[in-house]
Amino acid sequence: VQTVLETPRLILRELVHEDAAPLAGILSDPETMQFYPAPYDRQGVVDWIERNRRRYAEYGVSLWALVLKTSRELIGDCGIIPQHVDGELLYEIGYHLRRDFWHQGLATEAAIACRSWGFAHLPVHRMISLIRPQNVPSRRVAERNGMTIWKEVEWRGLPHCVYSITREHADRLTASPSQGSRASR
Ligand SMILES: CC(C)(COP(=O)(O)OP(=O)(O)OC[C@H]1O[C@@H](n2cnc3c(N)ncnc32)[C@H](O)[C@@H]1OP(=O)(O)O)[C@@H](O)C(=O)NCCC(=O)NCCS
């Protein structure tokens, strides 16, 4: 399976149909999916993998599997999803992590890597994250990824914050990481 990128603790690779069982441990967990309309059932997980594989073929990006280097387990997903927001095609950084791996900075590590990868490989001016206002952990990951709230939109029938980072701002963070979120807190 194709590896897309690597961070100190994680490998990001394309999702395959065989990932359905470990993914269900994430996408079918009610607490992990509390900000979604409902957790995915078995068929929902299979369809979700298929949608991601179609986006790899069409756009070259989508959510990728997060594999922990130490154990080789799939513990989540993170990647770049093309989304139509307010009639504009934008590239969103998304992430879901298995609950027993929360609070270790793993989602932040993956999201920052996806941001760098996106600006290096896609001709985009900005990248976004679409987040329900109540989803504090996800908002913290977006902030750690250098993003700020750009606007608020109704998306798939629910209010969402559109977090955003422009290429110029991302370049400045890369050139001078001390300006990054951790140091400026
Ligand atoms: C969002 C998610 C991926 C974050 O994963 P994570 O690896 O635990 O995130 P990090 O360890 O990088 O932590 C990010 C920040 O959020 C904070 N945070 C994490 N969980 C929190 C919680 N339940 N309540 C408040 N803050 C929380 C962390 O403390 C950290 O900030 P801090 O160090 O400044 O305090 C994970 O919570 C998850 O899978 N959530 C469910 C799926 C989801 O909603 N995805 C996003 C859809 S938009």
Digit-coded pLDDT (tens) for 44-80:
999 999 999 999 999 999 999 999 999 999 999 999 9
| pLDDT band, very low/low/confident/very high, at 178 (cuts 50, 70, 90) | low
| pLDDT band, very low/low/confident/very high, at 175 (cuts 50, 70, 90) | confident
pLDDT at 185 over 90: no
pLDDT at 180 over 80: no
How far apart CA 147 and CA 140 sit, in angstroms, is 10
**161 Cβ below 6 A of ligand 1:** no
Ligand 1 midpoint to CA 108 (Å):
8
Cβ count within 10 A of residue 136:
10
**158 Cβ below 6 A of ligand 1:** no
**104 Cβ below 6 A of ligand 1:** yes
pLDDT of residue 21: 98
Atom of ligand 1 nearest to the CA of 109: 12
Residue with tokens 């394309």: 14
pLDDT at 4 over 80: yes
How far apart CA 164 and CA 103 sit, in angstroms, is 23
Residue with tokens 């290096």: 120
Instruction: Characterize 25-44 residue by residue with b for buried, 16 or more Cβ atoms within 10 angstroms of its Cβ, and e for exposed.
Output: bbbbeeebeeeeeebbeeee
**103 Cβ below 6 A of ligand 1:** yes
**26 Cβ below 6 A of ligand 1:** no
Give tens-digit pLDDT for 78-135. 999 999 999 999 999 999 999 999 999 999 999 999 999 999 999 999 999 999 999 9
Supply the pTM of this predicted model: 0.93
pLDDT at 154 over 80: yes
- Among 138, 143, 144, 147, which residue has the most ligand 1 atoms within 8 Å of its CB, making it the best to mutate? 138
How far apart CA 51 and CA 57 sit, in angstroms, is 10
User: Do the beta carbons of residue 134 and residue 115 sit within 8 Å?
Assistant: no
Alpha carbon distance, N-terminus to C-terminus of the chain: 38
Helix extents (H) in 122-156:
136-144
User: Do the beta carbons of residue 96 and residue 32 sit within 8 Å?
Assistant: yes
Helix extents (H) in 60-184:
106-121, 136-144, 167-175, 181-184
pLDDT at 166 over 60: yes
> What are the CA-CA distances from residue 22 to residues 19, 59, 65, 89, 144 (Å)?
6, 25, 10, 31, 27
pLDDT at 140 over 70: yes
**107 Cβ below 6 A of ligand 1:** yes
Q: Closest by alpha carbon to 77, among 87, 56, 178?
A: 56
Average pLDDT of the chain to the nearest whole number: 95
Ligand 1 midpoint to CA 34 (Å):
13
